[in-house]
Amino acid sequence: MSWGGKSNISKITHCMTRLRFELNDPSLAERTALKEIPEVLGVMDNKSTTMVVIGQAVNDVYLEVKKELDNTPNESTAASPGAIAKKVSKKAWFDQFLATISAIFTPYIPVLATSGIIKGLIDVLAKAGIMSPTSDTYLILAAAGNALIYFFPILLAFTAAQRFGSNPFIAAVIGAALMEPHITGIATTGTAINFLGINFTAMSFANTVIPILLSIWVYSYLDRWLKKNSA
């Protein structure tokens, strides 16, 4: 796989999500091979410019491509997009994973800290005998401190959908559905559930993280598929 050799690449730049190759002879670029690379989301042409859609890891790929071109000993040696993508994929995947986790959780860090302070404060006051654990004030403050953690699936659904490029309001409804009292009630009984012919044991999704993130990740692909096929 090649771009037709180093000499065929006139210029390489990138924007937020795409690598842009200005080629002397665009026909030499092996587009089919490029599209088969998992990290490549798409390939488009605009006159002499071939655009490779990478996504948020585009800067890492760009730097690796530049390094590959700079280290090519002669112009007859072809730069391999497949080799470049594989070399970058591990680092790019890890960077994307960290960026995704950060984007989903960071908005809630101040509120999480506040919740922790409230819970810690009322525990100290209760142990010091200043506030009774059965008093209305204690119970209300405890509820305020627990609210974020308990309803975390709904909040995470919103920011996860924003990160995955789907509708955050629909995602929040998905999170709310997992917290719906009837589902929560079934989960507390430990009764086996039959849904669409599938048997599974009910569980409470309150205070959980992984189930809602996986749900919104799957929803984001379904959302894109529906939009693509309904257009």
Q: In Å, how far from its chain's centre is CA 120?
A: 32
At residue 20, the 3 state secondary structure works out as strand
Strand-pair partners of 49? 22, 46
What pTM was computed for the model? 0.57
CA separation (Å) from 72 to 29, 65, 76, 91? Answer: 17, 11, 9, 22
CATH 3.30.1360.60, the chain: domain bounds: 6-104
**CATH code for the domain defined by 6-104:** 3.30.1360.60
Q: How confident is the model at residue 35 (pLDDT cuts 50, 70, 90)?
A: confident
Q: How far apart are CA 159 and CA 73, in angstroms?
A: 46
In this predicted structure, the answer to whether residue 25 has a pLDDT above a threshold of 60 is yes
pLDDT on residue 4: 66
pLDDT on residue 119: 92
Catalytic residues: 15
In this predicted structure, the answer to whether residue 181 has a pLDDT above a threshold of 60 is yes
pLDDT in tens, 2-23: 566 777 777 788 777 788 888 7
Sign of torsion over alpha carbons 162, 163, 166, 168: negative
pLDDT in tens, 204-222: 677 788 889 999 999 999 9
At residue 109, the 3 state secondary structure works out as helix
> Average pLDDT, whole number, for the chain?
79
In the chain, % of residues over pLDDT 70:
80
Q: How confident is the model at residue 74 (pLDDT cuts 50, 70, 90)?
A: very low
Report which DSSP code applies to 73. S
Looking at this protein, which amino acid is placed at residue 96?
Answer: Q
pLDDT on residue 172: 94
Q: How far apart are CA 145 and CA 28, in angstroms?
A: 62
Choice between 34 and 167, residue whose per-residue pLDDT is larger:
167
